[in-house]
A and B are shown apart, each in its own frame.
Chain A
């Protein structure tokens, strides 16, 4: 199967300090890759490099057959992009607007229902708990398809979620991969839907 994302001899590096060297990965459509490794091995750093938030100094990234960073990947991390002044619906709308999606009121309602935030549309985000705030950004997963953004980079997406929500999320990840998307994700929990594992410990400097 043609690789969607190829990492070739990549150095995972934050500032001057290399964390891992010669990291290689082939991620095809349908792949759900669980990025594992102890704290400090560079899991988040690798995701940030692929998201374009940190520079890639050594190694090559090939995305959809062309050398270069992934175009508009979905990046979910602790940097949520949620503004406390805005309502839940306004924040979700902005996060979807970034990917060229103009959601209808029904879309917003459906996505928020999926993450258990039904009825919170007009509530200010500053009134939500950390777990609920995180769910706003996860609600995007409900509406994004591989046609919009084929690659999801998820950094600890299950943090602060209850068991039911994790199960629902895993269903969504599986559906996305089956539809032709690819996922690279970190999690300290086991990821039942993962069909590939990249252990950064093997590449540590």
Chain B
């Protein structure tokens, strides 16, 4: 702890010459801050992506190189890898903000917590599921899926992963005040996420067999939209409860 930092003093000039708005922090300023936090941070956001790559790479090595078997299991394997990498990545969603006082400063300044949650999760999605969706193209060489199936797989990840992220985020916020709460996150989140996994892989399978999987993809997308609209408010509430504990 520095007790003897040298100090150059100047007479305070006050805020009479600086730009002040009455609304408090804006959407753009919150977005910029969270983007900077993610971008300038350690490469921790890469770890879940590496996990995703490891799973989808090891899977073909483990089950063998028979094309029919790989094609049958490929979609499920990619989705399970996507789910596990997403759940693994939510550990640091809110805990650092609680520990370093960002949450407290947001509450005191009466900033919109749901908006902050939404922005934080949106940026997290870009750095996690957004990249996973692109990496899912590796299913073509690894599992010998057709390009058509792989595009549908990618679409299903894009449509379903926001809902998965919201469910993981609420589990993360619920366990925030608990010691070793991170261990509980998958236990709480995974049972809720199972239907999404079933629907998403089902949609790709339908397309693969020549049937129309669009209604299921639309259902996933609708679920994601609803969760994005509702969950930030619920998560903000649970964050406040975690705060009070």
Contacts and interface: CB of A to CB of B under 8 A. Distances in A.
A81 B102 contact: yes
A102 interface: yes
B14 A164 contact: no
A51 B108 contact: yes
A100 B24 contact: yes
Interface in B64-103: 96, 100-102
A97 B29 contact: yes
B12 A107 contact: no
Contacts of A171: 11-12
A72 to B, nearest CB: 6
The interface size bin for chain B is 35 or more
Contacts of A160: 1-3
Contact of B7 (A78, A81, A115): A115
Nearest to A81: B105
A162 B9 CA distance: 12
A116 B5 contact: yes
Interface stretch (A2-10, A34-42, A52-60): A52-60
Contacts of B105: 75, 79-81, 95, 98
A142 interface: yes
Of B102, B104, B109, B243, chain A has the most CB atoms within 10 Å of the CB of B109
A164 B29 contact: no
B7 A54 contact: no
Pick the 9 closest A-B CB pairs, nearest first. Answer: A79-B101, A131-B2, A81-B105, A116-B7, A129-B2, A98-B109, A85-B41, A79-B104, A130-B1
Interface of A: 51-55, 71-75, 77-87, 90, 94-95, 97-104, 107, 110, 113-116, 118, 124, 129-132, 135, 141-145, 147-148, 160, 162, 164-165, 167-168, 171-172, 175, 179
